[in-house]
Amino acid sequence: MRLIRFGEKFDERPGVLNEQNERLDCSPYFEDWNSAFWANDGMRQLEQLLSENEQELPRVAADARWAAPIARPGKVVCIGKNYQAHANELGEDPPAEPLIFMKAPNATIGPYDTILIPRQSLKTDWEVELGVVIGAEARYLSSPAESRACVAGYLIANDVSEREFQKDHCGQWTKGKSCDTFLPLGPWLLLADALADPQNLELTLDVNGERRQTGNTSDMIFGVDFLIHYLSQFMTLEPGDLICTGTPPGVGLGMDPPQFLQPGDEVRLTVAGLGEQRCQCLQA
């Protein structure tokens, strides 16, 4: 099953994408795909609704905006340098343990929205990633084997990054990761039971039609199950939280010479089974 959201900003509504790729409006029955939905047996209720009344659900207008497929996360936990080749292109050793940083949840936008290049930015970069949405509380898990039961689903995430803010302005990475519009998500959330192996997914990213990133989640240093288990030792992961699992090689910072996003650029991302994202860049 694929969950979507639609509608203008601050008026987004929950829906599903059926096998015919029609968007169906679930807002008469559910408030949103948010923490309360996952925590209160929402999936069972949704499955029952679709089995009994799918044909009765309103169709979403073709021109309705695609929103991020989940409501604003409670927290966004990101993993740095989680692909060996990405660490190599930055001239750095891979971490011995997951390198964790946070990204502001209000950076979230839809899969076809505009990425705003911040004022005074000279180094806005791209990062295609597998995003993992938490569906059940994960706290002090005893082993990585327990992690999969805590996953709601998977989506495409672009961990847009301003490298000067991130590296040259003192402090942690958060300020270079949390600018407005720096987290395009979607177009849909593929539910966990529809994906047998999150560690074998091809990822790509193009800028203006030119391939920049190609990778596979099999190349992660720390896989999804390990990451959830590891994070649960330091913080409680709650339903609706998002984990961005790291990016493969090909970021602008790693090019020779480095290249960064400019107003008018188009960024296209794909992850196998999770659809395609296209965002245009404009100056803030």
Question: Could you write out the DSSP letters of every residue in the chain?
Answer: -EEEEESSTT--EEEEE-TT--EEE-TTT-S-SSHHHHHTTHHHHHHHHHHHHGGGSPBPPTTSPEEPSSPPPS-EEEEES-BHHHHHHTT-PPPSS-EEEEE-GGGEE-TTSPEEEPTT-S-EE--EEEEEEE-S-BSS-SSGGGTGGGEEEEEEEE--EEHHHHHHSSS-THHHH-STT-EEB-S-EEEGGG-S-TTS-EEEEEETTEEEEEEEGGGBSS-HHHHHHHHTTTS-B-TT-EEE----S--GGGSSS-----TT-EEEEEETTS-EEEEEEEE-
Query: Are 83 and 143 found together in one domain?
Result: yes
Domain CATH number, residue 237: 3.90.850.10
pTM above 0.75, yes or no: yes
* Residues of the chain where predicted confidence (pLDDT) is lower than 50: none
Whether 156 contacts 274, CB under 8 Å: yes
Q: Which pLDDT score, from 0 to 100, does residue 68 have? A: 98
Residues facing residue 183 across a β-bridge: 108
Query: Are 6 and 91 found together in one domain?
Result: no
User: Tokens 């039609």 identify what position?
Assistant: 209
Query: Are 195 and 234 found together in one domain?
Result: yes
End of a domain among 31, 66, 101?
Answer: 66
Range of 32's domain?
A: 2-66
Query: Are 77 and 218 found together in one domain?
Result: yes
Q: Which pLDDT score, from 0 to 100, does residue 90 have? A: 81
Count of domains forming the chain = 2
